[in-house]
Structures are given as C-alpha cells and as structure tokens.
Structure 1
C-alpha cells in the first residue's frame, strides 16, 4: 500500500480579511486531501499586525528559520491602517520572499464564470504575468537626506543583476513555450536609459525558442485595456509586474479573485502562496469577504506541491459555484464568505 504524501504548511492568516478567507481555503484543501489521499499538517503562525503591537516586530527573530522547515507558506493578507506599510510589508512579506529566493511572482489572470469584465473582449482573458520578485525597483538601497530642510532629498536605487534578469526570463520563456509560444516583455528602454536596455538585452539572450515581443510599459498598459486577449505570458520587472498584474486583474473583472505564487523554482526553500487583494479593513470581520483569491492561491500551492489533480478539482469547484450564481457582494451577489465556501465544498 502506497504511503500518503504529507506536507507541512505554515499558515500566516495575518490581518483583516485574511483571517476569514484563509480558514475557508483550508477547509477546501483538507476535503481534497481526503479525496486524493495526501495529508496537510497546518502550522498556524499568529504573526502580523497584532504580533507587531505586542512585540514591536511582525514575526519572531527566528521566524524565517521556523518557516524554512516547512513545505510551503500560505499567506492571507498583511496591513492595517494604523501601522505603516514599511513596517508590515518589510517586516514580514518581503523578508520571506527575499530570504527564500522566491524570485518568481506568478500571477495568473483569467476571467472566471459569472465575473464580468468591464471591457469589451475582456471576458476571454487568460494570461499569466511573471514578475521578478526580489530585486529591480524595490530595493533597499537609498535613503533620505537633510530631513526637515528645504533641500531635503530622497534617493532610491534600482538593482538589476544579470543573474536575476536571466533566471526570470528563462522561467517565463519556459512557461510561454508550454502555452502559445509568445513572450511579451515589459520595458521602458526609451526613458530609463540604463536598467531597461540591460533588461531588454538579457531577456532576449534567454528567451529561447519563443517569439519575444518587447513592449514599452505605457503601450502595454494600453494594450491590456484595448486588446486584452492579445497577450499570453508577460515577463516584467518588480515594479512593472506589480502594476500590470493589478491592471490585468481589474480587466478580468475583480482584483478580489486574483491569486499569486511567490516561487523558488529550485525548491531550495519553501514557496509562498497568497491572494493579490489586501487586508480590506473596511469589510474585515463582517463575513462578506470573497475567498476566491485565497482558494485559487491554494490551488496554485497544491500544483506546486505535486497534487495537480486536486488543484484542478479545486479550480473547477470555485468556478462552478460562480457559474451557478453563488457570488459575494464584490461580484454583485449576496453570498457571505461561509455561504460561498459551503458552495465550493458541495461541488468538491
């Protein structure tokens, strides 16, 4: 008799609606584990803004060492109005991404049943954005000078390494080859005269056999609005990928259903999976949060763990619930978080 696969997943529900949508996704994954004969051991971490208020930091000093022992991290949301994002994000999310070399931020964007795009042609949207996740424009190099004086200045340096650009380009090219064979690279080499021409050169060197289409970021943003189905796989720097993925999710109908994976492709460290939406403090605690983004992130995690059949079943289940008209308020429906989750469980 074959031994059941077992996984240890660290859970950081975090802040706001993260505490509502994470349990919803866990219940669905546990149901799938029984059906597909694997087991998930959930290690719940009470890290986040409440932990910060009590301890002055977002996670324990050995938090990364604790997470390194697991097979993955399942994150809900981070951020509250009364604590600066520089504390909440740079104290939890970004250290995990960088310490675990999660240099791929994978963001699939697809129009789901019953979720209407605000744009003509957006209802057929199906693309993936591959965002470089650990360097680029989001570096820590820089600072503030002469604070409080008229000549006060802020300096922020972008860091693009050959190794960093090459590995994200290779990953995106391999993904594009498995889909339509076309890779769109977001650039701004006509205005950013050092880092973006370097980006273009290295991406071209590692695009392999796929057809490479290098598009200026402003033109690409317009193209996602005017011709959203004309792109398939986009590779972009940290900042450009962050912006484009939210834009694409909006074109697909809702940022509230979008997932993401922070991937370490070499599997030297755990990867982390999370919805794109934030902590939504305006609706937190009301039981109305849409768990679809967390469910989809859970499906991405199952795929990464080597459970593709379970991942596909979970995607089919939440898509079927949406198609049958079970929708939360953000999608124009009346279902609460628990009601929508129950509908997904029924379809599992």
Structure 2
C-alpha cells in the first residue's frame, strides 16, 4: 500500500499505557502506516500551558485521520480538549460499537450494536443556574442536523451489510424536539427502502435492550440519549473497556478513540483494558480499506478472549495491560 500518515495522541491518565501496549499490534498489522505522535491533554498543559496545542489540531486536519487515547477534564485549569478538538475539526457525528466476544463478561454472546448520534445539538450547550436551588438547560434540535445524522446512519448500515435501524426518542413527551428528530429521520428513511427503520421511545427501548439486545443493530439518536445507550450497550456486551468508537465530519476527518475515559486513578497500574483502544485502531484500518489487517487484529482479540488465559482485569482476569496486548500480538503470528 501507499504509505499513509495518521496522527497519534496518547492522551492522559491510562491513555499512554494503553496506547503504548497496543501500538506494536497496529504496527504488525499495518506496517506501512506512519504515525505522527503529538502531545495533548494534561502533559501538554503542564509543559506548554495549553491542553490542545494548535499544532495538534493542524496535524489531525492535515492527515484527516487520528487515533487517540482518552483525555480528561480537570475541575479547574482548562476546558475539555476533546470538545475543542471536535469543534475545531467540525466532527459532528459520534459512533460507538458494542460487541460481545466469547469469554467477555456478557450474558448475550453474539451481540453487536452500533450507536450513532449527533454531538452538536440536543442538550449540548446553553445552561445556567437560576439562583442557588434551580437550573435550566436548553434542548435544541434542527431538521438539518437530524437529517444529516440519519442519512449517515442509514448509509453506514448499507455499507456494513446491516438492515435494521432504531431511532431512539422521547417524542411522546418532547414533541417539539424529539418529535422533530423522529419525523426528520423517518422522512430520510424513504430514501433507503432496503432498510427496516422504526422509532422507539427510550423507556421501552432500554427495557428491550436489557431483555433482548440481539434484536438491535443500529441505534440512531440525539446526543444525550446516545451517551446513555452507549453505556447500557457497553455493559450488555462486557464493559466500556471493550468499546471502540470514532468522531467524524462524515467526509474528510475522523478521530478514532475508545468509548471510556482516562481513569486517572488507574494510571500506571497496568490494570487498564487496552482492547477498546485497539479495536478503535481496527475501525481505522477498516476506514482506510485495510480490511485484511483489520480482520487479523479482530480475530486475534477474539482468540485471546475465547482462550481466556490472558484476560484484562475488567473481564475477570489478572493480566496486565501489556500482557493482554502481548497475547494479542502472539495470536496474530
């Protein structure tokens, strides 16, 4: 293949150790990829006085591809570098993938659910306290935003050989906002006659997910519901440490990252599960057409999980972060 460069952000907290452990696997699977490692998050703030330096943003913008570890948001000091990165690059769509592997802590083997949400609208943004004992937050939905994320979700379904999309909403009680989101999504559905697309209220949907998650493939939703559903689906399939994901502008720029946070209290303890980060790298490989390499890594992860001797701590095992990735690397050979 022609050499291609990808921005790499180790992040902070557990980020540097899960990234360091996982990169030998990605190097082995795709040796022609080149990595532009840059510093962002806590270490960048301590050294340079800014958590997201402009050269980091420019690296991602230039390459159009980034794989990153988690970055935290302290109570004081600086605002979220994750949010700023999304805003600077116009990354409006968040995708997370919940997959259950044999050997993972799950009661529902075979489950794979993709959560797709817009991260620019809904309840993100304006809020304020009203005196010491009350507060208000605005919920904002536009037809343009709802149609855009719906079209992305339906196209994603077709591209990945899926045929069912569920539109999560609370339209019966939020008619002006969720009602608009659902109506716009169903209008776009007419462009995709080969898909089975239906709305489902959040209270009913969460119950059905807990009972029979295998009935679902893609969950399309506004931002706040997407966060709740991603947490629920990660729990159903084994835990957030196993969840990969990405943020994208739907065209040129995509940032791949695990669905969990930076968990600073576990930093340096070698207890963190690196599989969510590694599987985010797998999503990158698929995104740029390296399907064979992606399958090789995913199969190795599945083999290690199924064999059960080198499981991460959050999956009931005793293996360190480095030991888990060493086992995955050995399974690839």
TM-score w.r.t. length of structure 2: 0.92
The correspondence of residues 293-312 of structure 1 with structure 2, limited to 5 A, is: 293-312=276-295
Deviation of 1:344 after TM superposition, in Å, equals 0.9
Q: Once superposed, what is the RMSD of the aligned Cα atoms? A: 2.0
- 1:119-158 correspondence runs (5 A): 119=107, 122-138=108-124, 140-144=125-129, 149-150=131-132, 154-158=135-139
How many residues align? The count is 327
Q: Spell out structure 1 runs of 4+ moving beyond 4 A.
A: none
- 1:49–1:88 CA contact under 8 A, matched in 2: no
Work out which of the residue numbers 18, 23, 40 in structure 1 matches 2:20.
23
Q: CA deviation at 1:236?
A: 0.7
CA distance in 2, matches of 1:64, 1:154: 34
8 Å Cα contact 1:97-1:134 kept in structure 2: no
Aligned equivalent of 2:175:
193
Match of 2:223 among 238, 244, 257: 238
Does residue 51 (structure 1) correspond to residue 44 (structure 2)? The answer is: yes
Q: Is the 8 A contact 2:105 2:316 kept in 1?
A: no
Deviation at 1:169, TM superposition (A): 0.6
**Residue 108 of structure 1, CA deviation:** 1.5
Q: Please report how far the alpha carbon of residue 64 of structure 1 lies from its aligned counterpart in structure 2 after TM superposition.
A: 2.2
User: C-alpha separation between the residues in 1 aligned to 2:118 and 2:271?
Assistant: 33
1:149-188 equivalent positions in 2, closer than 5 A: 149-150=131-132, 154-177=135-158, 178-188=160-170
Q: 1:291: how far off? A: 0.9
Paired residue for 1:74, among 57, 67, 76?
67
Q: Match for residue 100 of structure 1?
A: 89
Matched, 1:116 2:109: no
CA distance in structure 2 between the aligned counterparts of 1:339 and 1:85, rounded to whole angstroms: 35
Q: Is the 8 A contact 2:94 2:118 kept in 1?
A: yes
C-alpha displacement of 1:86: 9.5
**Structure 2 Cα separation of the partners of residues 63 and 116 of structure 1:** 37
**CA separation in 2, counterparts of 1:322 and 1:156?**
43
* Alpha-carbon shift at residue 303 of structure 1 (Å): 1.0
Distance 1:153 1:18, change over 3 A: same
Matches of 1:131 and 1:71 in 2, distance apart? 20
Change in Cα spacing, 1:57 to 1:154, as seen in structure 2 (3 Å) is: farther
8 Å contact from structure 2 (residues 101, 110) kept in 1 = no
Q: Deviations over 1:99-122 (max 9, x none)?
A: 3232221212111121031x4xx2
* Counterparts of 2:288 and 2:110, CA distance in 1: 29
Give the 3-state SS of the residue equivalent to 1:277 in structure 2: coil
Give the deviation of 1:193 after TM superposition: 2.6
TM-score, reference length from structure 1: 0.88
Q: Deviations over 1:77-116 (max 9, x none)?
A: 1116xx2289452xx1112223323222121211112103
The partner residue of 2:306 within 301, 323, 329 is: 323
Distance 2:162 2:94 in 1: 20
Cross-structure match for 2:205 = 220
Which stretches in structure 2 are left out of the alignment for 5+ residues? none
Q: Per the alignment, in what secondary structure is the counterpart of residue 209 of structure 2?
A: helix
The CA distance in 2 between the partners of 1:253 and 1:7, in whole Å, is: 33
> What is the rounded CA distance, in whole Å, between the counterparts of 2:217 and 2:268 in structure 1?
37
**CA separation of 1:116 and 1:61: change in aligned 2, threshold 3 A:** closer
Distance in 1 separating the partners of 2:10 and 2:76: 17
SS at match of 2:102: coil
